[in-house]
Structure 1
Amino acid sequence: MSGSLSVTVDLEDWYHIPSVCSSPFSVYRNVDEFFKNWNGRYDFLSEPTKRVLNLLDEFNINATFFVVADTIEHYPGLVELIVDRGHELACHGLNHACKIDPKTKRPLMSVEEFEQRTLVAKKMLEKISGEKLVGYRAPNALVGGWMIDSLEKMGFKYDSSVSVNSFYNKTDSSLRNVSSFPYYPEENELEASSDRNFIEFPWAYCQHGLKFPSSGGPMLRFLGSSFILDGLTQSLKRGHTIFYFHPLDISCARFPSLGNRRPFYWCIKGRLVEERIRHVLGKMSEVEKICLRDYPGVSCV
């Protein structure tokens, strides 16, 4: 294995997922509407996030946390705790709203609205971190080339949303010449170019004829750690790659039965998935691990 690995954590709560809020098929149009109508428990995030921080301490790993900015308001002290433990903050949107349609890949908001919302999120997170925020991950990994242009304009240095595989494409580009290692995206595109002041960190995949997405997240929950390790091992031979998960993945609480179209989304989680993460990190113990902000190319763009 020749590449380095970035361990990344998506900080979002159960109501941020597209079946509940802020997607074309969600129960609520946005998070504000959710909080106006929801009277039950909403914080399923704090306890597993603290366990994730302890897990990262156990393996002496500094991770990149892609944070939904409204968690700052709804979970006082939680994002501050991540910074206090030495991890990088990056932006995962203001409240995890989809920016492009999952089916058509057409924009769900104007460029102006995207930039306004993202700048608000960026400033909120910078206030907590005390330093310039340079990283972004699109909510639900739905990303368009036009978003990259806006992110660069706003002062971001990298994005990490692209997942190359043979089964789905959550971008508005064909990704013909994109693999699992960092690259410079073309303007208004997500195809690989030769040079730019912005880097895309795509996710891992394993190739057995077809390309299987294997960077973590739902694939970790449903297909297990051996599958993820296969993808990470293959991707590390190509260069730097990404492992990711959510604190919710290791939550032992039962989430509310609210949501459209994804009834089995959280059927596998909890201690089982926590042990899978621990197994992956243990097997990757000899691999160099860096926050995305510390990747050599980021400091140069």
Structure 2
Amino acid sequence: MAAEITNALTIDVEDYFQVSALAPHFPRQEWDAVPCRVEQNVDLILSLLQERDAKATFFTLGWVAERYPHLVRRIADAGHEVASHGYGHERASAQTPEAFLADISLAKAVLEDIVGEPVKGYRAPSFSIGKSNLWAHECIARAGYSYSSSVYPVKHDHYGIPDAPRFPYRLESGLMEIPVTTMRWLGRNWPAGGGGYFRLLPYAVSRWQIAKVNADDRRPAIFYFHPWEVDPEQPRVPEATAKTRFRHYVNLDRTAERLRRLLADFSWGRADHVFRDAA
């Protein structure tokens, strides 16, 4: 079954200093003074995708796109989907509805000016749409997006709606929400959509989970990671907490090779194509 299903591969395009857990060490007003590494990391990802003739969706920060428009064009010219990760990587749950709408509208405009076509998809930083701010979905629809991938149906210390639907669903506004993939096992949802779990756990766990979702649920998975996760040479922040350092730095030197295996073991496509008729 896994061989018959095309899954959706997604990349959240942000740099190492924009990660929410490292925010105390990189004030937003100082971002322009921090050396960026996002371009070289995205170029590596593009080469890995080209090796397997795989397509993906790049949820890109407007802040990054403004500074690297040529990188966004390279993504689009290679046949990948350019989608939005908002402008300034602020959690949706930390903004007012008005500020959130302004942020995601600005990001959409910046990206569309670069690629010259509509940007359909949006993903909230840190999957920051939860039960306390479901109003964000209405804002996403008002901004003109067709789909969101901002809900993770798991229990986590920073995000998650454990009882949310596991697969794409349509909201009253017409917006489609595409939750990050979970595997149902032992009566609960387990993260199966990549991110830190892809680095922290053995590769065989991710392969087993995706294959199980494809075979048992007969549904495509949606998987994600970040460009900084293929960059073992990125600057370290020794002042960060032990928990943050563990989550952020473990197995950075193994991620690129794991991605090669992932691309070889499954079929991958753009989110807007894989889930075109999902809900």
Pick the TM interval, shorter chain. 0.7 to 0.9
Secondary structure, counterpart of 2:179 in structure 1? coil
Q: Does 1:55 align with 2:53?
A: no
Matches within 5 A, 1:1-301: 1=1, 3-21=5-23, 26-28=24-26, 31=28, 33-35=29-31, 38=33, 41-100=34-93, 108-143=94-129, 144-168=133-157, 170-171=159-160, 174-176=161-163, 178-179=165-166, 181-185=167-171, 197-209=174-186, 210-237=188-215, 238=217, 239-257=219-237, 260-261=240-241, 262-284=244-266, 287=267, 289-294=268-273, 295-297=275-277
1:182-229 per-position Cα deviation (integer Å, ceiling 9, x unaligned): 1124x5xxxxxxxx6221111222333143202111011101321111
Cα distance between partner residues in 1 of 2:239 and 2:79:
35
Q: Residues 18-73 of structure 1, C-alpha deviation per residue, up to 9 Å, x if partnerless?
A: 1333xxxx3355x2x1237x4xx521212121110000011111110000111123
TM-score by length of 1: 0.81
Letter of the 2:237 counterpart: S
Unaligned 5+ segments in structure 1 are: 101-107, 188-195
Cα distance, 1:250 vs. partner? 0.8
Question: Aligned equivalents of 1:167 and 1:116: distance in 2?
Answer: 28
TM-superposed deviation, 1:113: 1.1
CA deviation vs aligned residue, 1:267-289 (integer Å, no higher than 9, x gap): 224441111111112111xx4x3
1:291 CA displacement = 1.4
Counting matched residue pairs gives: 268
- Give the partner amino acid of 1:158: Y
What SS does the corresponding residue of 1:266 show, helix, strand or coil?
helix
Q: Deviations over 1:147-186 (max 9, x none)?
A: 1111111111111122223555724xx553512x21124x
4+ residue segments displaced more than 6 Å: none
- 1:124 CA displacement: 0.3
- The structure whose residues are more often helix, as a share, is 2
Structure 2 gaps of 5+ residues are none
CA–CA distance in structure 1, aligned partners of residues 248 and 127 of structure 2: 18
The residue matched to 1:70 in structure 2 has which SS? helix
Matched AA of 2:185:
H
Judge conservation of contact 1:91–1:125 (CA < 8 Å) in 2. yes
The CA RMSD measured in Å over matched residues stands at 2.3
Following the alignment from structure 2 to structure 1, what is the Cα–Cα distance between the partners of residues 229 and 141? 31
Cα distance in structure 1, aligned partners of 2:76 and 2:178: 22
Report the secondary structure of 1:122's partner residue: helix
CA–CA distance in structure 1, aligned partners of residues 113 and 144 of structure 2: 15
Distance 1:259 1:153 in 2: 40
TM-score for the superposition, normalised by structure 2: 0.87
C-alpha spacing 1:296/1:35, structure 2 compared with 1 (3 Å): closer
C-alpha deviation, 1:96, in angstroms: 0.8
Q: Secondary structure at the match of 1:95?
A: coil
Task: Give distance in 2, aligned partners of 1:281 and 1:9.
Answer: 14
Asked if the contact 1:20/1:258 (under 8 Å) is kept, the reply is no
Task: State whether residues 222 and 271 of structure 2, in contact with CA within 8 Å, keep that contact through their aligned partners in structure 1.
Answer: no
CA distance in 1: counterparts of 2:206 and 2:223, whole angstroms:
9
**Cα distance between partner residues in 2 of 1:205 and 1:11:** 22
Q: Are the equivalent residues in 2 in contact too, given 1:249–1:273 (CA < 8 A)? A: yes
